[in-house]
């Protein structure tokens, strides 16, 4: 069953995230917190995200009318449904998936205005550069592999 899911990851990732967006806020926050803490386990443990200690990062997924607010606490990310943002990343789900799967360079997405940063842009650029430096094959398999397959399905 698992190999079949991975085989179709490029077709399942987007609908799965869309379903999550329409789930109750508490479930979204719990699942998103778990997912991002798992995905960023190594950088979090190494203190590479400590520069976010006093910041709130809002991620706005415009086509899903979804906002998540990320806060760092004791080297763990917490996702909340509201907050006072320090910096905001905004774009369509497809643009975030293209960036996360490293299919399209983030700078290209920002240049084309498919993604935008507002607020403390220096902090936003530092976070973007850190995330861009992560290699998909260094992410936990359950996260990196679907992103790799998504990238393969959207290359070119």
- At residue 11 the predicted structure's pLDDT band, cuts being 50, 70 and 90, is low
Residue 156 has pLDDT above 70, yes or no: no
CA angle 34, 151, 4 (to 5 degrees): 70
Domain range for 80: 2-154
What span, in angstroms and rounded, lies between the C-alpha atoms of 19 and 22? 5
Mean pLDDT of the chain: 85
CATH of the domain at 96: 3.30.1050.10
Write down the pLDDT at residue 13.
63
pLDDT at 124 over 60: yes
Counting the structural domains of the chain, the total is 1
Beta strands in the chain (DSSP E): 56-61, 66-73, 76-80, 87-91, 115-119
Q: What is the mean pLDDT of residues 21-42?
A: 88
């Amino acid at each position: 069953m698992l190999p079949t899911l991975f085989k179709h990851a490029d077709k399942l990732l987007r609908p799965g995230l869309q379903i999550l967006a329409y789930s109750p806020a508490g479930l979204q926050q719990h699942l998103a917190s778990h997912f991002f803490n798992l995905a960023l386990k190594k950088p979090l443990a190494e203190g590479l995200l400590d520069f976010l200690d006093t910041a709130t990062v809002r991620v706005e997924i415009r086509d899903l009318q979804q906002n998540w607010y990320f806060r760092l606490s004791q080297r763990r990310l917490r996702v909340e449904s509201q907050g006072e943002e320090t910096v905001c990343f905004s774009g369509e789900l497809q643009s975030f998936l293209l960036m996360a799967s490293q299919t399209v360079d983030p700078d290209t997405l920002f240049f084309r205005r498919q993604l935008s940063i507002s607020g403390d842009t220096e902090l936003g650029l530092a976070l973007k550069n850190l995330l861009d430096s992560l290699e998909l094959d260094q992410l936990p398999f359950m996260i990196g592999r679907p992103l790799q397959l998504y990238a393969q399905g959207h290359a070119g």
